[in-house]
A and B are shown apart, each in its own frame.
Chain A
Amino acid sequence: MLRPCVSPFRLCAPLLSIRVSTAAIEAVDLAKSYGEVQALKGVSFEVARGEIFGFLGRNGAGKSTAVRILTTLLRPTSGQARVLGIDVEAHRAKVRRVLGVTLQEAALDDLMTGREHLLLAGRLCGLTKARARDRADQLLESFGLASAADRIAARYSGGMRRRLDVAMALVREPQVLFLDEPTTGLDPQSRRALWMRIRELRDRGAAVFLTTQYIAEAEELASRVAIVHDGRLAAVDGVEALKRRCGTTVVKLHWAGGQAPAAARFAPLDGLTVSEGDDGWMQVAVDGGEPEVPAVVARLAPLGGAIERLVVEGPSLEEVFVSLTGSGIDSNAGSNDSQSFSAVRRGMGFSSTRGA
């Protein structure tokens, strides 16, 4: 009979109080109450190494509480969390050594220069003076702060502050990176630059836990997302899987002459939700997603009239968010991308009918 091979590391793991795990971050039934207020009501998820995991939710949904627990800054009321298999409550110092963290506000000392921030961070986490200096120079250079290195943080712009904050989180080359709303308040250019850097870190094997209120940001960066709503996880899954599950593919057709042929308007189109706009556009929701689009068009084309233009819109993460939480993310927090997208979706004044 074949016996499973047991490595010495696995045998020693319980003694080392390290749980052998392939996950970079594991949360099991995490809950946190502040008096009467329950900020987290039992959330469980895993984040793999080399993955960007989006933690999406409105203000007050519990995102920052989760980050503070996972980064050892706050003790959970119940539940467990591990980073690289190390329990965050029992071995806080060990966990901190593998983490890079930026919290919601850029945590800087206004009277310290950019370079002084990075030197202090490097020295505190045990780098020698020379190593700390090299690391600071390297980070200042790669975050475009070299020319402002000796200016105090009070004279930095919002974007520069955020970049310095992220640079500080990278001083010890973390294996697990927590970014709590890292691009809030950044201009689109700085946001894109930071997204690029986050992808680079992921490519080097770091796990990135990214909380955001920007749906477009999660869609752009994350391979998997958790949607947190009122302290609970409404969903955890791959972005594409979620879209398939909760979103709808929409085919928009514009007919020659500005009006759909009567046959198309009144024919019972089984399984299709059809809406008709007053500007000649007809919108058909395709439950089966993109693979079914050709078949749907094939059913509509012979009904008379000529299709002048055809647009296929895949499901959006925003739609998923709305369907899971019952409402959209704060409109003032939504990115321009997602706002304009919603406007396109809503602005056509469709009235819908569903085929029997």
Chain B
Amino acid sequence: MAAPAGTQIRLLLVRNLREGVRNPILAYALPVVIPLAMLILVAKTLSRVTDLPGFPTDNFAEWMTPAVIMLTAMTGVGYAATSLVLDIQSGFVDRLRLLDASPAWLLLSRLLFDVARVLPAGVALLGVGVLLGTEVNEGLVGIAGLFALLTLWAAAYGGLYFVIALATRNAQSPLALAPLFLPLQFLSTQFVPRSLLPRWVQVASAWNPFTYMIDAARALITGPLTLAPVARAVGVALAMLMITQLLCRLAFARAVGDR
């Protein structure tokens, strides 16, 4: 008999995590690099931005910290999607299917691996943010909520990489998607509040899922914690997760010729 679902997911996830340990720079160090640079360099070089009338805080690092924590999901994911395509190309996925591993758990274990890579980066950035003066006003509840949202967002955004990687069956294709975080940052409230954005950017930011993640992350760390931004972020991330996972399943079935 095939191993039960829980065992399959655990075995496959352990395999992925171990692979990460044997390739630590790419797997675990990379997700933290860009957000950390963003937090330290941008927050320090543009610290006078807070002088603008209407800016809600006088510490730019505090304004940036929740946003860059959510940014780790966008700079960190992709590795697992590339690994999955390499597994398909090497025949390892076929091998696993012949051993009764379910395609759904194969995908899930890869997705969870991406999330697992992002969470330590999130913790590191929260630590650096606090050192730079970010006040964690909503305490442990806020932090727990932040990491739950980061998990969901990493899975939702990571799904895009899986869709592209599986649809093109090209292990390099996630690389092409990597710079997407750049325009998404500028078309959001990462750097300045909505009121200070030009009109057209305000409109664009309302269509940008990242905006909702940033707004919720700010509510969860610096406060005040209200339900509305968190509920909106969870709704947007869940919708994105469902759509990307549905497309992933279809693309995965096509990629392994399982029609």
Give how many A-B residue pairs fall within 8 Å (CB-CB): 80
Would you call A126 and B92 a contact (CB within 8 A)? Answer: no
Is there a chain B Cβ closer than 8 Å to A130's Cβ? no
Given A73-B94, A124-B8, are A111 and B22 neighbors across the interface (CB < 8 Å)? yes
Query: Which residues of A lie under 8 Å from residue B98 when comparing CB positions?
Result: 71-73, 96, 99, 101
A72, B92: Cα distance in complex, Å: 15
In the bound complex, CA of A161 to CA of B15 (Å): 19
CB-CB under 8 A from A123, the residues of chain B are 3, 7, 11
Contact B259 A109 (CB under 8 A): no
Closest beta carbon of chain B to A234's beta carbon, Å? 26
**What is the size category of the interface that chain A forms with chain B?**
20 to 34
Whether B15 and A96, one on each chain, are in contact in the complex, defined by CB atoms closer than 8 angstroms, is no
Cβ-defined contact, B97 with A73, below 8 A: yes
Q: Is B87's CB within 8 Å of the partner chain A?
A: yes
Query: In the complex the two chains form, what is the Cα distance from A68 to B97 in whole Å?
Result: 12
Question: Is A111 touching B23 in the complex (CB atoms < 8 A)?
Answer: yes
Contact A152 B94 (CB under 8 A): no
Query: Inside 8 A of B2's CB, which chain A residues have their CB?
Result: 93, 97, 124-126
Contact with A along B21-34 (1 / 0, CB 8 A): 01100000000000
Does any Cβ of A come within 8 Å of B58's Cβ?
no
Closest residue on chain B to residue A121 by CB atoms: B99
Encoded as 1 (CB less than 8 Å from any B CB) or 0, chain A from 94 to 110 comes to 00110101011111110
Q: Which of B18, B87, B99 contacts A125 (CB 8 A)?
A: B99
Quick check: is A246 within 8 A (CB to CB) of the other chain? no
B91 and A103 contact, CB distance less than 8 A: yes
B16 to chain A, nearest CB (A): 10
Further pairs besides A107-B95, A152-B22: 15, Cβ < 8 Å: A96-B97, A103-B94, A109-B19, A109-B90, A111-B18, A111-B22, A120-B11, A121-B99, A123-B7, A124-B11, A124-B96, A125-B2, A168-B95, A171-B99, A172-B99
Binding site for B on A (CB under 8 A): 68, 71-75, 93, 96-97, 99, 101, 103-109, 111-112, 116, 120-121, 123-126, 152, 168, 171-172
Binding site for A on B (CB under 8 A): 1-3, 7-8, 11, 15, 18-19, 22-23, 87, 90-92, 94-101, 256-259
